[in-house]
Amino acid sequence: MFDNIKSMPAKVCLSLSFVIGFLYSINFLFFSSCSVVNGDGDCTALIPNGAAVDHESYGRGAGTLYVAGALMAGVIMGNLLILNEGAKGKWTIMIPTIAGFTCLAIVLAPPFQGDYESANNNPLYATIAALGLYTAAYVMLKEEGVDEGLAFNMGIKLNNEAKYAVIISSIIGTLYTVNHFFFADGYAGAGGSTLIPGFEEGTYWTDPIATTPVAYRVLASFFVTYVSMGLILLTNGAKGNWPAAHILLFGITFFALSVILGNIAVNDQVIPEGENAGTWEIDTSTATSNIVVSGFVMLLNIFAYYKMREEGVEEGMTFAGKAPENNDDFFFKMYPAVTAGFVVLLLIANYVTQPL
């Protein structure tokens, strides 16, 4: 199994980091509304948040964690791609992923949480473990050519219309990344300035289910991974860079669909215990903008991939280490099929497992 990776230690490290990401992705996608109340009441959570009833995080931010689960799903597909297709030239996936998880570890560390304190440090420990395993795999895979073609260029190497789509989506991603890293308090409605309009100032303190600022910083950490992949494609060109293009396409698609379907379903949050016990309606004041922006970015990335095919993005593409009979199979068969399957999972999450 996974014979295209020769190093057994690297294979184990990639597999274990995948398992950690998979568990958190499943927990957030399907059970975040129960996880944020520590599994209290009649509900199920794979990984409860450990918050006491009187802790600030109790009941907060289930919708944002659900989106984080979708972003995580895209990231860990990179693990599967490397395990299936081999390490050669996969720096385009691994370096952005290491960058994103490094940011995630930083924002989850107590000294960088600002005025907010997590209920416990389990997510930080899991992030450090996954980052350590993934980085160790990267180092070990150097002997298998993971850094082949490694280059950090400054110029734009995409030549057709794809470059405009990648530039626009990268700008949007960068703006949201900067906003959520440095202006999360303002965006969350806790007070302060913000680059991108968020929730009404002060609403964080009156809404017991409002997302904490640190949760928006978690999203920003995932954005780092995807924006980095977009910039690699922009500055290194499309030719042969199908690994990064595939993970970017899947990740942004998963993200956008989770935002769109989540804002259509709009599940109330139940707080089973404490002074805020009851059923609370989600603040949907940012729903329209989030749907429009995420949907637009998804369409940009679909268009960019379609145009990058003209510049040879699928050159050298493999399935299970072998060249496909027809390169059209990915974009016109595999991508729609995986997307349809993910939509089914999102429908199950929003209409079956998330409602309490």
Model confidence band, residue 3 (pLDDT cutoffs 50, 70, 90)? confident
Q: Are 185 and 198 in contact (CB under 8 A)?
A: no
List the domain boundaries for the chain: 8-353
pLDDT digits (tens, 9 = 90+) for 216-233: 999 999 999 999 999 999
| Residues forming beta bridges with residue 278, ordered by sequence position | 271
Count CA within 13 A, CB hemisphere, residue 107. Answer: 23
Model confidence band, residue 115 (pLDDT cutoffs 50, 70, 90)? confident
Per-residue pLDDT at 291 exceeds 80? yes
Model confidence band, residue 4 (pLDDT cutoffs 50, 70, 90)? very high
**Tokens of residue 310, six digits:** 């003209």
Torsion 260-50-129-181 (CA) sign: positive
pLDDT at 204: 95
Q: How far apart are alpha carbons 261 and 343 in whole angstroms?
A: 9
For the purposes of burial, counting CB atoms within 10 Å of the CB of 325, is it exposed (0-12), middle (13-18) or buried (19 or more)? exposed
| Residues forming beta bridges with residue 279, ordered by sequence position | 270
Per-residue pLDDT at 114 exceeds 80? no
Q: Are 237 and 311 in contact (CB under 8 A)?
A: yes
In degrees, rounded to 5, the angle at the alpha carbon of residue 276 between the alpha carbons of residues 189 and 23 is 75
pLDDT at 118: 82
pLDDT at 117: 74
Angstrom distances, CA of residue 41 to CA of 45, 82, 336, 352, 356: 11, 41, 38, 17, 9
pLDDT digits (tens, 9 = 90+) for 62-103: 999 999 999 999 999 999 999 999 999 999 999 999 999 999
Model confidence band, residue 330 (pLDDT cutoffs 50, 70, 90)? very high
Per-residue pLDDT at 260 exceeds 80? yes
Q: How far apart are alpha carbons 25 and 49 in whole angstroms?
A: 14
Model confidence band, residue 2 (pLDDT cutoffs 50, 70, 90)? confident
Q: Are 236 and 163 in contact (CB under 8 A)?
A: no
pLDDT digits (tens, 9 = 90+) for 122-163: 999 999 999 999 999 999 999 999 999 998 888 999 999 999
Per-residue pLDDT at 356 exceeds 80? no
pLDDT digits (tens, 9 = 90+) for 263-282: 999 999 999 999 999 999 99
pLDDT at 303: 98
Read off φ and ψ for residue 270, nearest 5 degrees. Answer: -95, 125
pLDDT digits (tens, 9 = 90+) for 294-320: 999 999 999 999 999 999 999 999 998
Q: How far apart are alpha carbons 107 and 4 in whole angstroms?
A: 35
